[in-house]
Amino acid sequence: MQRRKSLVRCLMMSVNVTAAVAWEAGKPLVIEEVEVAPPQKMEVRIKILFTSLCHTDVYFWEAKGQNPVFPRILGHEAGGVVESVGEGVTELQPGDHVLPVFTGECKECAHCKSEESNMCDLLRINTDRGVMIHDQKSRFSINGKPIFHFVGTSTFSEYTVVHVGCLAKINPLAPLDKVCVLSCGISTGLGATLNVAKPKKGSSVAIFGLGAVGLAAAEGARIAGASRIIGVDLNANRFELAKKFGVTEFVNPKDYKKPVQEVIAEMTNGGVDRSVECTGHIDAMISAFECVHDGWGVAVLVGVPHKDAVFKTSPLNLLNERTLKGTFFGNYKPRSDIPSVVEKYMNKELELEKFITHEVPFSEINKAFDLMLKGEGLRCIIRMGE
């Protein structure tokens, strides 16, 4: 008993670890020694083993269209192991393998209780918040000066503190250097197709935008058994890569004088059965909707648009029985659903290796930013502790 008490006490201490701190917008991250406080009520401290870089990290690092919150520890796609748990945490214990997720699942609110929604009231993504919900304080500091959190995950640190509702407990046999990409982009695209567009076997699907999210949506179409997967992108360099993801045909809107929705309608005898938009550009969103077949076509919007963008189409397009939907994190509930997405990878139903195009040690994390800014590759895995 005495031993157990002292073990608990020792786990509840701050730890000094290495983290990559974004001190200012657009400036390279700096590797620093950071103090990470113990987890408080309903919080978990985890050791991050692998993290990857997603566009959202870059947007908030550049902070062009967003509220600048600095100094901050970015990072939200990752895999790690539980080190210690705070008061009230019963479903996780030290040693459990987890994926932190930028949005959460409290399991108590109307959204969490609904079978349809994953937009948890308590833990829904909040990009402006740089502190923990419990006491509105940060768990990170350097010489007593707080460093802000990012979307409740801050995975560019050897240790981080996360609300238990933002952690998916996964199969401990799953390789964290692969499944870490399921924390955000890949699950978003995959779920947009499998959970929301739901193409039937043998159907046609158009994917707008062939970045990591769009290619994950294509992977979903392949898994669902779609027979035609039409990839649409303004960047022809994406087409070669997309072949590995089951994309069967390519359309570059720049090659045509007429709107791309007309090109697709001609290719498919009136329109595709499903479309998934993963660009974040309003024109592509409108084309993605207008290229689905009347009577049954469903278009799903995934890309995050400019804050002033307006979606304009004739209401007749809806009256003619086309459906327009949008989705957040592929409609997956982080704690309830993500463990089963990891199992899809373990069963070899879902391929993840093809999304991982680069790897760097943590000390070279800025290289991952350079690759993304140059538009090279899909996902760069950052190995912690190196």
Instruction: Give the residue numbers marked as catalytic.
Output: 54-56, 76-77, 106, 109, 112, 120, 124, 184, 379
Most distant CA atoms of the chain, gap in Å: 77
DSSP, residue by residue, 332-363: --HHHHHHHHHHHHHTTSS--GGGEEEEEEGG
We find the least distance from the C-beta atom of residue 325 to ligand NAD, in angstroms, to be: 11
We find the least distance from the C-beta atom of residue 312 to ligand NAD, in angstroms, to be: 15
We find the least distance from the C-beta atom of residue 166 to Zn ion, in angstroms, to be: 11
Calpha distance 215→231 (Å, rounded):
9
Least Cα distance to 306 among 64, 129, 99 occurs for 64
Query: Under the criterion CB under 6 A, does residue 187 sit at the interface with ligand NAD?
Result: no
Residue span binding ligand NAD (CB under 6 A) among the ranges 141-149, 198-206, 212-220, 315-323:
212-220
Residues 6 or more apart whose Cβ sits within 8 Å of residue 253: 232, 234, 259, 260, 263, 287
Sole residue written with tokens 């992108």? 233
Restricted to residues 97-116, the positions that interact with ligand NAD (CB under 6 A) are none
Residue span binding ligand NAD (CB under 6 A) among the ranges 12-20, 33-41, 127-135, 272-280:
272-280
Restricted to residues 113-142, the positions that interact with ligand NAD (CB under 6 A) are none
Calpha distance 237→285 (Å, rounded):
21
Residue 106: name its binding partner from Zn ion, ligand NAD, none (Cβ under 5 to 8 Å by kind).
Zn ion
Q: Are 17 and 158 in contact (CB under 8 A)?
A: yes
- Strand locations in the chain (E): 15-21, 30-36, 43-52, 77-85, 97-100, 140-142, 145-147, 159-163, 167-169, 204-208, 228-232, 249-251, 274-277, 298-301, 323-326, 356-361, 379-383
What is the CA angle 351-352-354, rounded to 5?
90
What are the tokens at 302? 């995934």
Instruction: Give the CA distances from residue 324 to residues 10, 98, 330, 369, 372, in Å, rounded to whole numbers and listed in that order.
Output: 53, 34, 15, 34, 30
We find the least distance from the C-beta atom of residue 375 to ligand NAD, in angstroms, to be: 7
Restricted to residues 9-48, the positions that interact with ligand NAD (CB under 6 A) are none
Query: Residues 19, 167, 190, 212: which binds ligand NAD (CB under 6 A)?
Result: 212
Residue 120: name its binding partner from ligand NAD, Zn ion, none (Cβ under 5 to 8 Å by kind).
Zn ion
Residue span binding ligand NAD (CB under 6 A) among the ranges 10-18, 133-141, 181-189, 222-230:
181-189
Q: Are 239 and 263 in contact (CB under 8 A)?
A: no
Residue 382: name its binding partner from Zn ion, ligand NAD, none (Cβ under 5 to 8 Å by kind).
none
Residue 140: name its binding partner from Zn ion, ligand NAD, none (Cβ under 5 to 8 Å by kind).
none
Residue span binding ligand NAD (CB under 6 A) among the ranges 18-26, 184-192, 292-300, 347-355:
184-192
Residue 109: name its binding partner from Zn ion, ligand NAD, none (Cβ under 5 to 8 Å by kind).
Zn ion
Q: Are 262 and 244 in contact (CB under 8 A)?
A: no
Restricted to residues 89-118, the positions that interact with Zn ion (CB under 5 A) are 106, 109, 112
How many of the other CB atoms lie within 10 Å of CB of 141?
15
Restricted to residues 227-246, the positions that interact with ligand NAD (CB under 6 A) are 232-235, 238
Residue 190: name its binding partner from Zn ion, ligand NAD, none (Cβ under 5 to 8 Å by kind).
none
Interface size with ligand NAD, residues (CB under 6 A): 28
Radius of gyration of the chain (CA): 21
Binding footprint of ligand NAD on the chain (CB under 6 A): 55, 184-185, 188, 208-214, 232-235, 238, 253, 278-281, 283-284, 302-304, 328-329
